[in-house]
């Protein structure tokens, strides 16, 4: 009798969900009892420890060279184990250039979580990345349907082969191939965690095409969208998983490129310079006083963050004014027709 399997997955647009289902289907074929659980649909703070002898898997997209916070915190809080086996998978932004499949970059996604699971007493049996298409349509148009289907066919086979090995009791650590580049990119993952993701969370807005169906609010895996002034408003809980933007039935969610560029210029050229000039007038920081310098730098960051919070609220308010709404609309690249939305391949789901 093979160990029962529980897979916990998080997914924005369906790639990681599909990998979890392919893995579970392989277990079904091998008559191994299994369950694939979407962590967005459960009480993440009250997880029961896995039964002794069972196998646990975690599957999630990669966001900013790490697991998204929802999955990271889930693993941090996950109950300890006395020797249960565990595997980790991440889906990344795979590309296809001509006939070549180009992999994404995991960063610390697998390594940090592997370390946490080891400390908690798990025995790691597998670490693998799966290079499904990128869903990050704030920065590039959605991948064409034909290319998606081709990448999907390849990744499904890779996932099934990996699952068969793990379920047959083998150890597979394919991720070690990328360890050097993953660790080198570590500083960027830290930058994304503390700064980048908050800027991205404030990059969405709903256009006039929105009919207030509230589907985006109901389907957000972390309940990040609120209704403010009778239109969707993105809060800092947003993980930029791209589900809302890719699935809005009216294609009414866009990325506010004009606003983001404008506000970053304002912060860098105006507010930060003004802040530093003020600091210079008030105090002289001795060259060797690291604490004072750190305090001033941190204050600068807090100020930057405060500007982002206030400006997004103002931006949201200004969307009421037709002329400004048009200006924001025309400076969003995602509004243009050629900027496709991302849909995972139905054929291979
Ligand atoms: C905000 C954001 C950040 C991303 N960061 C990375 C990354 O660091 N490395 C990578 O290979 N892919 C990255 N991607 C691509 C996704 O990880 C990839 O498309 C994944 O398969 C999506 O899975 P899902 O459909 O389950 O959400 C990013 C996507 C988004 C939206
Ligand atoms: S899903 Fe689209 S149309 Fe529906 S409320 Fe959200 S933005 Fe508006
Ligand atoms: S608001 Fe949209 S992008 Fe952000 S977490 Fe929710 S569904 Fe994902």
In 3D space, the residue among 184, 132, 200, 190 whose CA is nearest the CA of residue 349 turns out to be 132
Centre of ligand 3 to C-alpha 237, Å, is 8
- Single pTM value for the model: 0.92
Q: Let me know how many helices (H) and strands (E) the chain has, helices first.
A: 13, 11
Phi, psi of 83 (to 5 degrees): 90, 15
* Spatial contact of 301 and 272, defined as CB atoms under 8 Å apart: no
Where b means 16+ CB within 10 Å and e means fewer, 325-347 reads: eeebbebbbbbeeebebbbbbee
User: Beta strand 85-91 with 123-130: parallel, antiparallel or unpaired?
Assistant: parallel
Chain CA centroid to CA 107, Å: 13
Ligand 2 atom with least separation from CA of 225: 6
3-state secondary structure of 114: helix
Q: Is the CB of 203 under 6 A from ligand 1?
A: no
Residue whose CB lies within 8 A of the most ligand 2 atoms, among 223, 248, 341, for a mutation test = 248
Is the shortest distance between the CB of 234 and ligand 3 below 6 Å?
Answer: yes
Distances (CA, A) of 200 to 71, 134, 203: 18, 16, 5
Q: What does the pLDDT read at residue 199? A: 86
Query: Domains along the chain?
Result: 5-187 (3.40.50.360), 194-335 (3.30.70.20)
Position with higher pLDDT, 66 vs 263: 66
What is the reported pLDDT for 2?
A: 67
Please report which confidence band the pLDDT of residue 264 belongs to, taking 50, 70 and 90 as the band edges.
Answer: confident
Rounded CA separation 257/139 (Å)? 9
Rg of the chain, C-alpha, whole Å: 22
Model confidence band, residue 32 (pLDDT cutoffs 50, 70, 90): very high
Condensed to tens digits (0 to 9), the pLDDT of residues 122-162 reads 999 999 999 999 999 999 999 999 999 999 999 999 999 99
């Amino acid at each position: 009798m093979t160990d029962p399997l529980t897979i916990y997955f998080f997914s924005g647009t369906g790639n990681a969900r599909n990998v979890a289902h392919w893995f579970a289907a392989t277990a079904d074929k091998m008559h191994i009892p299994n369950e694939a659980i979407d962590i967005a649909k459960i009480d993440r703070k009250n997880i029961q420890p896995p039964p002794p002898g069972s196998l646990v898997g975690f599957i999630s997209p990669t966001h900013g060279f790490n697991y998204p916070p929802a999955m990271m915190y889930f693993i941090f809080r996950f109950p300890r184990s006395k020797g249960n086996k565990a595997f980790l998978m991440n889906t990344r932004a795979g590309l296809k250039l001509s006939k070549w499949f180009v992999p994404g970059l995991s960063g610390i996604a697998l390594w940090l979580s592997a370390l946490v699971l080891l400390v908690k007493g798990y025995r790691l049996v597998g670490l693998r990345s799966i290079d499904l298409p990128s869903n990050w349509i704030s920065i590039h148009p959605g991948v064409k349907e034909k290319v998606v289907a081709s990448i999907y066919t390849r990744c499904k086979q890779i996932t099934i082969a990996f699952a068969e090995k793990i379920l047959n009791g083998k150890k597979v650590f394919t991720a070690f191939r990328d360890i050097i580049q993953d660790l080198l990119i570590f500083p960027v993952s830290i930058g994304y965690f503390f700064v980048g993701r908050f800027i991205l969370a404030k990059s969405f807005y709903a256009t006039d095409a929105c009919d207030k169906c509230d589907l985006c609010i109901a389907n957000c895996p972390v309940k990040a969208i609120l209704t403010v002034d009778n239109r969707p408003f993105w809060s800092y809980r947003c993980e930029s998983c791209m589900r809302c933007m890719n699935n809005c039935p009216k294609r009414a969610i866009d990325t506010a490129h004009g606003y983001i560029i404008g506000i970053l210029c304002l912060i860098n050229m105006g507010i930060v310079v003004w802040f530093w000039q003020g600091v210079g007038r008030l105090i002289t920081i001795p060259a060797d006083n690291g604490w004072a310098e750190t305090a001033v730098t941190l204050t600068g960051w807090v100020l930057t963050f405060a500007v982002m919070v206030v400006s997004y609220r103002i931006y949201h308010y200004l969307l009421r004014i037709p002329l400004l709404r048009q200006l924001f609309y025309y400076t969003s690249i995602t509004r243009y027709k050629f900027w496709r939305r991302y849909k995972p391949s139905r054929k291979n789901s």
